[in-house]
Structure 1
Amino acid sequence: MSFLLGKDMTGGYGAADILHNCTIGVERGEIAVVVGPNGAGKSTAMKAVFGMLDLRAGKVTMEGEDITSLSPQARVQKGMGFVPQNNNVFRSMSVEENLEMGAFIRTDDARDTMAQVFDLFPILKEKRNQPAGELSGGQRQQVAVGRALMTQPKVLMLDEPTAGVSPIVMDELFDRIIEIARSGIAILMVEQNAKQALNIADKGYVLAQGANLYTNTGEALLNDPDVRKAFLGG
């Protein structure tokens, strides 16, 4: 039983199903990566796990508990953090204010967690009083991830965390994601840079047309000639 598991998920928007018997999941301290071509249903699968999409079939469990009927807000209370690809910061608020917004569900003192976020992303400490909208794309992604970490999640879900950033920034973000996983947090992410993402993944899922084509370790998928030819550029 995976720590977080969306199992045999079928559903979509309105009458049209986008997911077809799709399964993705992750264990504590692991990095699980969902890859596949555009339109494969990757982000839809993440939204289904987070409760933003009603399922016609299948279920979502966390720590063995069926959470299929819970709202996204209730899932955050359970320990899920979700960073969407777009519109993931409050652009007019400062970096520090964005991080404080992430602690809204907490009743304890969150200053230690903010210090940990600043240790993880030193540039955010340097720019803590700057509006998030004035930051570079990579820095805004760091704010978005940092805000999710302020909730003290058990699992962090990232939808295309390196979209639109330079290769250098991508490598830095992946290094930080590895650090987060080593702290014991489960990481489930959709990523367009499939080869680089599978290189750091404990587990990988290759989706096409809303269904699982391949499921294996990241290393095994990188070394699978069919996966390499079809999805990784040979």
Structure 2
Amino acid sequence: MAEPFLIGENMTGGYGAVDILHNCTIAVERGQIAVIVGPNGAGKSTAMKAVFGMLNLRGGRVMLDGEDISKLSPQARVHRGMGFVPQTSNIFTSMTVEENLEMGAFIRTDDIKGTMAQIYDLFPILKQKRYQAAGELSGGQRQQVAVGRALMTQPKVLMLDEPTAGVSPIVMDELFDRIIEVARTGISILMVEQNARQALDIADKGYVLVQGANRFTDTGQALLADPEVRRSFLGG
């Protein structure tokens, strides 16, 4: 079988001497949405950080488009086509929306106007507020700035850590709609999400982690229909 476009394979590692991930595998195909769910403390964000190179692995590897990137720094992985949006501290609050987007294009030497126009099409509210300080925006609008900034690098893979944390259900639905639009352009989405039911509903692939290990792996719809997954992780 062909390798997935991005895979963190058999990842074991953590912080210092303590392993948080135990032989954990996370993968996403080109243009698909993969969602990592599970209880608090399951290692979801740790798995994401491991794939992005923010964690030293004692075992396993990370492959992107057929290349082993396990030894690359996060910065080098950005140059290879990975974009990462952390859950917190993901915008420059004192800068305007447009300045935030410009900062996202730091690795590019070509004209960024076309990409910025695409992001304003994706998030029209950002165009309205492009000269406003990002710190003055609502939580949902800040998340749009963070996602837009990551898209400015023209990534092949967009990694989102809890993109809907702290936003209203209406804003959550809107963000998920935009994430689907991004995936339709051919960008792979790897996402950690607490709103498991809603996230699995849009996921091509779902991973349920428990204590840093894979417990269930299937399509999003299959996991939603699995009685054990529903009982244990989705509230029935």
Give the Cα–Cα distance (whole angstroms) in 1 for the partners of residues 180 and 65 of structure 2: 22
Question: How many Å apart are 1:145 and its aligned residue?
Answer: 0.1
Q: What letter corresponds to residue 50 of structure 1 in structure 2? A: F
2:3 corresponds to 1:39 = no
TM-score (norm 2): 0.99
Cα drift, residue 167 of structure 1: 0.1
User: Match of 1:149?
Assistant: 151
Separation (CA, whole Å) in 1 of partners of 2:217 and 2:165? 23
Distance in 1, matches of 2:221 and 2:92, equals 37
1:70-89 to 2 correspondences below 5 Å: 70-89=72-91
In structure 1, the residue matched to 2:169 is 167
Q: Could you tell me how far apart the structure 2 residues matched to 1:222 and 1:59 are? A: 29
Instruction: State the 4+ residue runs in structure 1 displaced beyond 2 angstroms.
Output: none
2:223 aligned with 1:187: no
- Per-residue deviation at 1:66? 0.4
Match of 2:214 in 1: 212
SS at match of 1:109: coil
Unaligned runs of 5+ in 1: none
Q: Secondary structure at the match of 1:21?
A: strand
Give the deviation of 1:99 after TM superposition.
0.1
Deviation at 1:139, TM superposition (A): 0.3
Q: Matches of 2:164 and 2:65 in 1, distance apart?
A: 28
The 5 A counterparts of 1:37-116 are 37-116=39-118
Q: Alignment identity in percent? A: 80
Alignment of 1:11-26 (within 5 A): 11-26=13-28
State how far apart, in whole Å, the 1-side matches of 2:73 and 2:111 are. 26
Which residue number corresponds to residue 138 of structure 2? 136
Superposed CA RMSD in Å reads 0.3
Rounded to whole Å, the distance in 1 between the matches of 2:103 and 2:30 is 25
TM-score, length basis structure 1 = 1.00
The Cα shift of 1:162 comes to 0.1
The one-letter amino acid paired with 2:108 is R
Answer yes or no: is 1:227 the counterpart of 2:209: no
